[in-house]
Amino acid sequence: MLSIESIHTSYGPISAIKGIDMEVREGEIVSLIGNNGAGKSTCLMTISGILKPSQGSIFLGKNNIAGLSPHSIVAQGVCQVPEGRRIFPRLTVIENLEMGAFLGRGDFGTTLHRVFKLFPILEERRKQYGGTLSGGEQQMLAIGRALMANPDVLLLDEPSLGLAPIMVSKIFRTIQEINSEGVTVLLVEQNARAALKLSHRGYVLENGVITLSGSGKDLLDSEEVRQAYLGE
């Protein structure tokens, strides 16, 4: 579904992604783990078109989407939930969701129904301002907003960051539920254990290069991953 080939991305003279190859197959949850500054967010932003790669290709099916504008990438079915949520605090829940549907595909009512089914709390709070929601509810709203575009591939950047443990497990369960409805997921997480547990496959990113890859289980069992990322 997504095939990332020899991607390089820089911030001016700073090279953040130095030639990475990754594949995300249809129906999978794939996680990308790595320390702070490894290049995880840069990788997601390159896929979603916020950053332009200096080299390489990103195939979505047969189309090379590398370097296209973010809105045309959303229109082709790839949506990102950014790190730190970035919901619109002065818009209501429903207005935030409408913004998500703006560039997307599919029928608004049907999609809204699906998002409210995943996150009943958003329906309850639909007239409330985004800024008045709890951290966990804001993360649900950020995910719900991305789903309003009806993506085939959802890119999630640190969805569990800063959330209470009970909310973290709820978010991870929901990611699994979204995936079981047919959405392919690329998940960036510092919470490597929880991410790998629910992932079909994973990649480890260090200093802008992929150093390890394998099934979620293989990575959880790997000595290197256990020492560097699971604190064992």
Contacts of 171 by beta carbon, 8 Å cutoff, 6+ apart: 136, 139, 140, 143, 159, 160, 163
- Does 170 interact with ligand ADP (rule: CB under 6 A)? no
Task: Give the nearer residue to ligand ADP in terms of CB position, either 209 or 230.
Answer: 209
Task: Give the nearer residue to ligand ADP in terms of CB position, either 41 or 150.
Answer: 41
From 35-43, 57-65, 134-142, 145-153, span contacting ligand ADP (CB under 6 A): 35-43
- Does 31 interact with ligand ADP (rule: CB under 6 A)? no
Q: Read off the tokens for 122.
A: 């958003």
Q: Read off the tokens for 68.
A: 């296209």
Among the listed residues 31, 41, 96, 191, the single contact to ligand ADP using CB under 6 A: 41
CA-CA distance, 54 to 66, in Å (whole number)?
10
- Does 34 interact with ligand ADP (rule: CB under 6 A)? yes
Min dist CB 182 to ligand ADP, Å, is: 27
Torsion over CA of 189, 31, 192 and 227, rounded to 10 degrees? -130
CA-CA distance, 153 to 156, in Å (whole number)?
10
- Does 37 interact with ligand ADP (rule: CB under 6 A)? yes
The neighbour count for residue 187, using CB atoms within 10 Å, is: 29
From 53-61, 78-86, 98-106, 190-198, span contacting Mg ion (CB under 5 A): 78-86
Contacts with ligand ADP, residue ranges (CB under 6 A): 11, 14, 16, 34, 36-42
